[in-house]
Protein backbone atom coordinates (compact mmCIF):
# COMPACT_ATOMS: atom_id res chain seq x y z
CA UNK A 1 0.00 0.00 0.00
CA UNK A 2 1.45 3.34 -0.98
CA UNK A 3 0.32 6.88 -0.30
CA UNK A 4 -1.46 6.96 -3.62
CA UNK A 5 -3.36 3.70 -3.66
CA UNK A 6 -3.43 2.43 -7.21
CA UNK A 7 -5.89 -0.24 -8.26
CA UNK A 8 -4.39 -0.39 -11.70
CA UNK A 9 -2.27 1.90 -13.79
CA UNK A 10 -5.38 3.51 -15.24
CA UNK A 11 -7.32 4.01 -12.00
CA UNK A 12 -6.50 6.88 -9.67
CA UNK A 13 -7.78 6.78 -6.12
CA UNK A 14 -7.75 9.55 -3.57
CA UNK A 15 -4.72 9.82 -1.28
CA UNK A 16 -5.02 8.64 2.31
CA UNK A 17 -7.03 11.16 4.31
CA UNK A 18 -6.85 10.09 7.94
CA UNK A 19 -3.64 9.03 9.62
CA UNK A 20 -2.98 8.13 13.24
CA UNK A 21 0.05 9.76 14.83
CA UNK A 22 1.86 8.90 18.03
CA UNK A 23 3.57 11.77 19.85
CA UNK A 24 6.12 10.23 22.17
CA UNK A 25 6.86 12.61 25.04
CA UNK A 26 9.53 11.20 27.31
CA UNK A 27 12.26 12.02 29.79
CA UNK A 28 15.85 11.04 29.10
CA UNK A 29 18.63 9.66 31.25
CA UNK A 30 22.40 9.66 30.73
CA UNK A 31 22.51 6.34 28.84
CA UNK A 32 22.06 6.57 25.06
CA UNK A 33 21.29 2.89 24.97
CA UNK A 34 18.56 3.20 27.59
CA UNK A 35 16.99 6.22 25.87
CA UNK A 36 16.93 4.46 22.50
CA UNK A 37 15.41 1.38 24.12
CA UNK A 38 12.78 3.53 25.81
CA UNK A 39 11.87 5.09 22.47
CA UNK A 40 11.68 1.68 20.79
CA UNK A 41 9.45 0.29 23.53
CA UNK A 42 7.09 3.25 23.26
CA UNK A 43 6.94 2.98 19.48
CA UNK A 44 5.96 -0.68 19.84
CA UNK A 45 3.20 0.26 22.28
CA UNK A 46 1.96 3.01 20.00
CA UNK A 47 1.92 0.67 17.01
CA UNK A 48 -0.17 -1.82 18.97
CA UNK A 49 -2.63 0.99 19.57
CA UNK A 50 -2.88 1.67 15.85
CA UNK A 51 -0.47 4.55 15.39
CA UNK A 52 0.98 4.80 11.89
CA UNK A 53 3.41 7.70 12.22
CA UNK A 54 5.70 8.04 15.25
CA UNK A 55 7.17 11.41 16.22
CA UNK A 56 10.02 11.42 18.73
CA UNK A 57 11.07 14.55 20.58
CA UNK A 58 14.22 16.50 19.67
CA UNK A 59 17.50 14.68 20.47
CA UNK A 60 15.60 11.87 22.20
CA UNK A 61 18.72 9.67 22.38
CA UNK A 62 20.43 11.77 25.03
CA UNK A 63 19.85 14.31 27.73
CA UNK A 64 19.79 17.89 26.42
CA UNK A 65 23.57 18.39 26.45
CA UNK A 66 23.41 21.95 25.06
CA UNK A 67 22.87 23.35 28.55
CA UNK A 68 26.64 23.92 28.56
CA UNK A 69 29.47 24.24 26.03
CA UNK A 70 31.59 21.15 26.57
CA UNK A 71 33.64 19.51 23.86
CA UNK A 72 33.10 16.11 25.43
CA UNK A 73 29.45 16.24 24.35
CA UNK A 74 30.42 15.94 20.71
CA UNK A 75 30.99 12.30 21.63
CA UNK A 76 27.21 11.89 21.77
CA UNK A 77 26.86 12.45 18.03
CA UNK A 78 26.47 9.68 15.50
CA UNK A 79 26.75 9.29 11.77
CA UNK A 80 23.72 9.03 9.51
CA UNK A 81 23.31 6.23 8.59
CA UNK A 82 24.53 4.96 11.96
CA UNK A 83 23.50 3.05 15.08
CA UNK A 84 20.16 4.80 15.59
CA UNK A 85 19.12 4.75 11.96
CA UNK A 86 19.76 1.01 11.79
CA UNK A 87 17.48 0.38 14.75
CA UNK A 88 14.65 2.59 13.49
CA UNK A 89 14.85 1.39 9.92
CA UNK A 90 14.36 -2.19 11.07
CA UNK A 91 11.61 -1.19 13.47
CA UNK A 92 9.72 0.80 10.82
CA UNK A 93 9.82 -2.15 8.44
CA UNK A 94 8.82 -4.65 11.11
CA UNK A 95 5.82 -2.63 12.29
CA UNK A 96 4.92 -1.02 8.97
CA UNK A 97 5.07 2.46 10.42
CA UNK A 98 6.67 5.80 9.62
CA UNK A 99 9.18 7.19 12.16
CA UNK A 100 10.53 10.72 12.53
CA UNK A 101 13.63 10.60 14.73
CA UNK A 102 15.74 13.58 15.79
CA UNK A 103 19.48 12.85 16.04
CA UNK A 104 22.75 14.61 16.81
CA UNK A 105 24.44 14.11 13.46
CA UNK A 106 28.22 13.87 13.00
CA UNK A 107 28.57 14.68 9.32
CA UNK A 108 32.35 14.98 9.29
CA UNK A 109 35.12 15.70 11.76
CA UNK A 110 34.23 19.11 13.21
CA UNK A 111 30.90 19.31 11.34
CA UNK A 112 27.75 18.50 13.29
CA UNK A 113 24.03 19.10 12.75
CA UNK A 114 20.75 18.82 14.61
CA UNK A 115 19.03 16.48 12.20
CA UNK A 116 15.73 14.66 11.83
CA UNK A 117 15.55 11.40 9.91
CA UNK A 118 12.39 10.11 8.28
CA UNK A 119 11.86 6.36 7.82
CA UNK A 120 9.08 5.11 5.59
CA UNK A 121 6.88 2.20 6.59
CA UNK A 122 8.98 -0.24 4.54
CA UNK A 123 12.08 0.72 6.54
CA UNK A 124 13.56 2.92 3.87
CA UNK A 125 15.38 5.98 5.15
CA UNK A 126 13.61 8.58 3.00
CA UNK A 127 15.91 11.42 3.89
CA UNK A 128 16.97 13.96 6.48
CA UNK A 129 16.14 17.51 7.48
CA UNK A 130 18.85 19.57 9.14
CA UNK A 131 17.56 22.19 11.60
CA UNK A 132 17.81 25.52 9.82
CA UNK A 133 17.40 27.95 12.74
CA UNK A 134 19.85 27.38 15.56
CA UNK A 135 19.29 29.10 18.93
CA UNK A 136 21.87 30.25 21.40
CA UNK A 137 20.68 31.41 24.79
CA UNK A 138 21.68 30.71 28.37
CA UNK A 139 20.99 26.99 28.82
CA UNK A 140 20.56 26.40 25.07
CA UNK A 141 24.05 26.81 23.60
CA UNK A 142 23.19 25.17 20.32
CA UNK A 143 25.36 27.36 18.10
CA UNK A 144 28.37 25.75 19.77
CA UNK A 145 27.32 22.30 18.59
CA UNK A 146 25.23 22.56 15.46
CA UNK A 147 26.04 24.04 12.08
CA UNK A 148 22.83 25.51 10.64
CA UNK A 149 21.15 23.23 8.11
CA UNK A 150 22.12 23.43 4.45
CA UNK A 151 19.31 21.38 2.93
CA UNK A 152 16.54 23.97 3.13
CA UNK A 153 12.96 23.04 3.99
CA UNK A 154 11.81 19.53 3.24
CA UNK A 155 8.80 17.33 2.94
CA UNK A 156 8.89 13.54 2.85
CA UNK A 157 6.41 11.51 0.85
CA UNK A 158 5.70 8.55 3.12
CA UNK A 159 3.14 5.77 3.03
CA UNK A 160 1.10 7.92 5.41
CA UNK A 161 1.25 11.29 3.75
CA UNK A 162 3.66 14.08 2.88
CA UNK A 163 5.27 15.00 6.15
CA UNK A 164 6.97 18.37 6.64
CA UNK A 165 9.63 18.23 9.34
CA UNK A 166 10.98 21.22 11.25
CA UNK A 167 12.84 21.25 14.56
CA UNK A 168 12.30 23.28 17.74
CA UNK A 169 13.68 26.83 17.20
CA UNK A 170 12.35 26.64 13.61
CA UNK A 171 8.90 26.82 15.20
CA UNK A 172 9.27 30.55 15.85
CA UNK A 173 9.72 31.33 12.14
CA UNK A 174 6.60 31.70 9.98
CA UNK A 175 8.90 31.61 6.96
CA UNK A 176 9.97 28.03 7.73
CA UNK A 177 6.40 26.83 8.17
CA UNK A 178 5.27 28.61 5.00
CA UNK A 179 8.04 27.23 2.82
CA UNK A 180 7.46 23.70 4.09
CA UNK A 181 3.72 24.04 3.52
CA UNK A 182 4.26 25.38 0.00
CA UNK A 183 6.15 22.17 -0.77
CA UNK A 184 2.86 20.36 -0.30
CA UNK A 185 3.15 19.09 3.27
CA UNK A 186 0.01 17.41 4.61
CA UNK A 187 1.20 18.08 8.14
CA UNK A 188 4.00 19.89 9.97
CA UNK A 189 5.81 18.10 12.81
CA UNK A 190 8.15 19.76 15.29
CA UNK A 191 10.41 17.58 17.46
CA UNK A 192 11.23 19.98 20.29
CA UNK A 193 13.19 20.45 23.52
CA UNK A 194 12.05 23.52 25.41
CA UNK A 195 11.80 24.08 29.12
CA UNK A 196 11.58 26.53 31.95
CA UNK A 197 14.57 27.73 33.90
CA UNK A 198 14.11 26.62 37.49
CA UNK A 199 14.61 30.21 38.70
CA UNK A 200 11.57 31.51 36.81
CA UNK A 201 8.20 32.38 38.35
CA UNK A 202 5.05 30.62 37.21
CA UNK A 203 3.64 33.67 35.41
CA UNK A 204 6.74 33.89 33.22
CA UNK A 205 6.52 30.15 32.60
CA UNK A 206 2.91 30.44 31.51
CA UNK A 207 3.64 33.35 29.17
CA UNK A 208 6.47 31.43 27.57
CA UNK A 209 4.31 28.38 27.08
CA UNK A 210 1.52 30.51 25.65
CA UNK A 211 3.84 32.16 23.12
CA UNK A 212 5.15 28.74 22.06
CA UNK A 213 1.63 27.38 21.75
CA UNK A 214 0.34 30.38 19.77
CA UNK A 215 3.17 30.57 17.28
CA UNK A 216 2.80 26.91 16.31
CA UNK A 217 -0.98 27.01 16.09
CA UNK A 218 -0.60 30.08 13.90
CA UNK A 219 1.35 28.01 11.36
CA UNK A 220 -1.66 25.71 11.12
CA UNK A 221 -3.97 28.68 10.59
CA UNK A 222 -1.77 30.51 8.09
CA UNK A 223 -1.15 27.42 5.99
CA UNK A 224 -4.30 25.39 6.50
CA UNK A 225 -2.51 22.24 7.66
CA UNK A 226 -2.34 20.36 10.97
CA UNK A 227 0.67 20.88 13.23
CA UNK A 228 2.14 18.46 15.77
CA UNK A 229 4.75 19.45 18.33
CA UNK A 230 6.51 16.85 20.48
CA UNK A 231 8.44 18.16 23.45
CA UNK A 232 10.59 16.42 26.05
CA UNK A 233 9.68 16.31 29.71
CA UNK A 234 11.59 15.99 32.95
CA UNK A 235 14.17 17.93 34.90
CA UNK A 236 17.72 18.05 33.56
CA UNK A 237 20.04 20.32 35.52
CA UNK A 238 18.45 23.76 35.81
CA UNK A 239 15.88 23.14 33.09
CA UNK A 240 12.44 21.66 33.58
CA UNK A 241 11.30 20.58 30.13
CA UNK A 242 7.65 21.51 29.94
CA UNK A 243 6.20 18.71 27.82
CA UNK A 244 2.75 19.83 26.71
CA UNK A 245 3.20 18.16 23.35
CA UNK A 246 0.14 18.91 21.28
CA UNK A 247 -1.60 18.51 17.95
CA UNK A 248 -3.91 21.01 16.29
CA UNK A 249 -6.00 20.68 13.18
CA UNK A 250 -5.73 22.66 9.95
CA UNK A 251 -7.55 25.62 11.51
CA UNK A 252 -5.40 25.70 14.66
CA UNK A 253 -7.88 23.96 16.94
CA UNK A 254 -6.10 21.97 19.65
CA UNK A 255 -6.98 18.27 19.35
CA UNK A 256 -4.87 16.95 22.23
CA UNK A 257 -2.25 18.17 24.68
CA UNK A 258 0.03 16.25 27.03
CA UNK A 259 0.85 17.20 30.60
CA UNK A 260 3.84 19.31 31.61
CA UNK A 261 5.47 16.65 33.78
CA UNK A 262 4.54 13.12 32.68
CA UNK A 263 5.87 10.82 30.01
CA UNK A 264 3.08 10.11 27.55
CA UNK A 265 2.35 8.28 24.37
CA UNK A 266 -0.28 10.54 22.87
CA UNK A 267 -2.16 9.02 19.96
CA UNK A 268 -4.13 11.26 17.67
CA UNK A 269 -5.95 10.76 14.38
CA UNK A 270 -5.22 13.56 11.93
CA UNK A 271 -7.56 14.28 9.04
CA UNK A 272 -5.58 15.59 6.09
CA UNK A 273 -8.77 16.23 4.13
CA UNK A 274 -9.68 19.15 6.44
CA UNK A 275 -7.05 21.18 4.59
CA UNK A 276 -9.27 21.11 1.53
CA UNK A 277 -12.12 22.58 3.54
CA UNK A 278 -9.98 25.16 5.37
CA UNK A 279 -8.17 26.33 2.30
CA UNK A 280 -11.29 26.98 0.25
CA UNK A 281 -13.23 28.56 3.12
CA UNK A 282 -10.25 30.63 4.29
CA UNK A 283 -8.39 30.95 1.00
CA UNK A 284 -5.16 32.49 2.25
CA UNK A 285 -3.04 30.69 -0.32
CA UNK A 286 -5.16 32.17 -3.11
CA UNK A 287 -4.44 35.75 -2.10
CA UNK A 288 -0.75 35.79 -1.18
CA UNK A 289 0.88 38.91 -2.64
CA UNK A 290 3.96 37.12 -3.89
CA UNK A 291 4.90 40.22 -5.87
CA UNK A 292 5.44 42.05 -2.58
CA UNK A 293 7.42 39.60 -0.40
CA UNK A 294 10.89 39.97 -1.91
CA UNK A 295 12.32 41.94 1.02
CA UNK A 296 11.67 39.07 3.41
CA UNK A 297 15.13 37.91 2.37
CA UNK A 298 16.60 41.05 3.98
CA UNK A 299 17.90 41.27 7.54
CA UNK A 300 16.14 44.56 8.35
CA UNK A 301 14.60 47.34 6.31
CA UNK A 302 15.90 50.35 8.17
CA UNK A 303 16.67 52.12 4.93
CA UNK A 304 13.00 52.03 3.87
CA UNK A 305 10.13 53.89 5.48
Q: What angle do CA 97, 44, 240 make, to 5 degrees?
A: 105
Using the contact rule CB under 8 A, the part of the chain among 60-68, 76-84, 168-176, 258-266 near a second copy is 168-176
Q: Is 169 in the site for a second copy (CB under 8 A)?
A: yes
Q: Is residue 58 annotated as a catalytic residue, yes or no?
A: yes
Interacting residue with a second copy among 5, 68, 198, 207 (CB under 8 A): 207
Q: Is 81 in the site for a second copy (CB under 8 A)?
A: no
Close Cβ partners of 117 (under 8 Å, ≥ 6 residues apart): 80, 84, 85, 88, 100, 101, 102, 103, 125, 127, 128
Q: Say which of 28, 66, 168, 278 is annotated catalytic.
A: 168
Q: How far apart are CA 174 and CA 208, in angstroms?
A: 18
Sign for the CA dihedral angle at 226, 194, 183, 129 comes to: negative
Q: Is residue 168 annotated as a catalytic residue, yes or no?
A: yes
Q: Are 22 and 43 in contact (CB under 8 A)?
A: yes
Using the contact rule CB under 8 A, the part of the chain among 26-34, 47-55, 100-108, 128-136 near a second copy is 128-136
Q: How far apart are CA 304 and CA 59, in angstroms?
A: 41
C-alpha gyration radius of the chain: 19
Q: Say which of 28, 38, 66, 131 is annotated catalytic.
A: 131
Q: Is residue 236 annotated as a catalytic residue, yes or no?
A: no
Q: Which of residues 225-264 bind a second copy (CB under 8 A)?
A: 251-253
Q: Which residues are catalytic?
A: 58, 131, 168
Residues in contact with a second copy by the rule CB under 8 A = 132-135, 137, 148, 152-155, 157, 169, 172-176, 178-179, 182-184, 207, 210-211, 214-215, 217-218, 221-222, 251-253, 281-285, 287-302, 304-305
Amino acid sequence: MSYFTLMSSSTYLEPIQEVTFAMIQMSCGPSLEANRQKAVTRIRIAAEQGAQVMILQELFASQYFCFTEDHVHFGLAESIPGPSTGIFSELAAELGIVIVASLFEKRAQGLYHNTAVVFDANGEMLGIYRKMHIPDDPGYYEKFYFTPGDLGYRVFLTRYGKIGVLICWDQWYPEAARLTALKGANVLVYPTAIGWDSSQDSETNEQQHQAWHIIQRSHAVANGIPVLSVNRVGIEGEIRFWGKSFACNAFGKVLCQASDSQEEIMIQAIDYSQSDHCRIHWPFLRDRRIDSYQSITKRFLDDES
